[in-house]
Chains A and B, each alone.
Chain A
Amino acid sequence: MTLFALTPTQEAGGQIALAAALGVAGFFLLLPRPSGRFVPGGIAALLAAAVVFGSFLYRRFGQPMPNVIESALFWMFSAGALVFGCVLVAQKNPARGAIAFAFVILSTCGLFLLCAAPMLMAATIIIYAGAIIVTFLFVLMLSQTDGPADENDRSRDPLYGGFAGFAFAGLVLFALYQTSQAANANQTRTADNRLDTRFPAPVLKAEDRKALASGLAELDAASAELDDAKTNADRAKMVLRYLAAQAHFAEVAGQSKDGRNDAGTIRTRLEKMPENGPVPAVLFRPDQQSKEALDRAAKVRALAFTERELETMLMKDKPDTAAVKTKAQKLRDEVALLYGTGDLPAANVRALGLSLYSEHLLAVELAGTLLLVAVIGAVAVAQRKGVAK
């Protein structure tokens, strides 16, 4: 037994504490003050803190590299966000700080892209780096000071402030580490006791999606031709067509037979995953996503036509085509939603808009009202009372 043997928790805690202490020292040296600051020492301390933080990330959460490009991008963008954030905090000149903030925004937008959020990336660049930064530069032009000024060359309690911020960040990181340990205990491991980071099987495979898509297209075609079916023989053909369309996705979603639900491929695939059992350590949860897909599949099953139902609706003197069409439309929508589940949809903008205007409509209206009130408030606050000086 060695004297300095540490448990992994102590080691992680030590790394976080070291990184936080180095960060405090770096900002203490770098923050502006009238008696002059020690820039090389501060930068060195911050770099050391960044190295310790990176090694903490790598040792605690990381694994050797099967995916080089993604991880290189991740390190580049996160280093960019942190470095330019530090520049913003330590920079005397607020205009340069604003430029550094624009670079922070660009880096976080890179991270958004890695998390499959292209719409947010564009929106954030336009709103932050475009609008907010430019308005701030206008205000800075109005209040340009020559030479040293109280607001730029003094800091408020650099030691205590740095300590407060880094203590907070360190505690959050430590809590993250402990949660990740608890989660990792639940994860599959390879033969040499490494975390299993292989890409999990997708919830919906390509052939499943193809079956869903062809079923969808045939449902649409059948509904379009429903009104042309005048005779009973034609209508019998339509019944068969609807049933044939449903048969395309019956295997994926499962089908109801005599009140009993038959399992589809999604369910059998989920059942192969052990309940609450180990899941691979990757960026998303395959078990939860296939459960979501399963819920959708249940809705598809509930809406699917039975043969008797179709016949009672169509094979009579006054066929109820409108009801059949409404129900087919509902079924079609559910199949389309099932087609889109499993992973984040590729059509990010469309899916985000659908979510905003269906699930969050009230919140969108409230946000719009908030913007309106803010505009009115800004005009009311900023207007000059009396005569201009």
Chain B
Amino acid sequence: MDRRTFFKKSIATSLTVGSYLTFGKYDELFAYKPTPFDLVAIKGGEPDIMFDKGIEALGGMRTFVKKGQKVVVKPNIGWDVSPERAGNTNPKLVSRIIKHCFDAGAKEVYVVDHTCDEWQRCYINSGIERAVKDAGGNIAPGGSESYYHDVKIPHGKTLTSAKEHELIISADVFINVPILKNHSGANLTIAMKNLMGNVWDRKYWHRNDLHQCIADFATFRKPDLNIVDAYNVMKSNGPRGVSVEDVVTMKAQLISTDIVAVDTAAAKLFGMEPEDILYIKIAAEMKVGRMDLDKLNIKRITV
């Protein structure tokens, strides 16, 4: 298989998978057990311990990762800041997720992000590169356009195509691990906004209605699992933050297969009305997921 056919095939596969997911034939495609809860909310523990408890409530990582599969974990590694600044996903959490993937039989686990600051400095100073290597995963480069390939977004209104990272295109399982943060442009950055790091050209989004583009891209390939890190939360000056004074410790975590539900719950946790976050509203209207938390089956865990 040469490079071209590899990408053609992987794009075709992901499109098929994407459309299946969009049409809700999720269970049929992967024969996954339906998760017992729509959303799991955990509080009061360290990031890794909270994840242990949360994933257990969803039937363990085996619910999502099958033996021999290729997993891509997408944390937020956008900025060249140290872990306590909460600009990037907690490295302890990333490390624990990778461990669970391997325990579930994953063949390989990759971690990648299209960072904002210079990618190597972000990978190193966020502590994530070390965490990934220690957990036996691979951290892959995302700082060059050559890694990104055209994908069509059939359900997008404004964003109808993008260039997505090849690892994410070819992943069997895609796990989205955002950190909850204040954001000057999008109000909050959580799970849907984190997917902006999957693509190469973000300026197009900024130029052409950021909120609509965020929602559009969420229709493309919904992550198999969304894990929101709300252990340390940047309450102001996001998404980069100016100092540790921007950060409060919430010791919380949210896990869901529904990217809209998890963003809705995270917005509430942050102290904002989800309706005020335009992209959450648009995504719910586009039927990407549900905002009606009161009708969802939520598991609440205190560690």
Report if A and B associate in a common complex: no
Interface residues of chain A, those whose CB is within 8 Å of chain B, are none
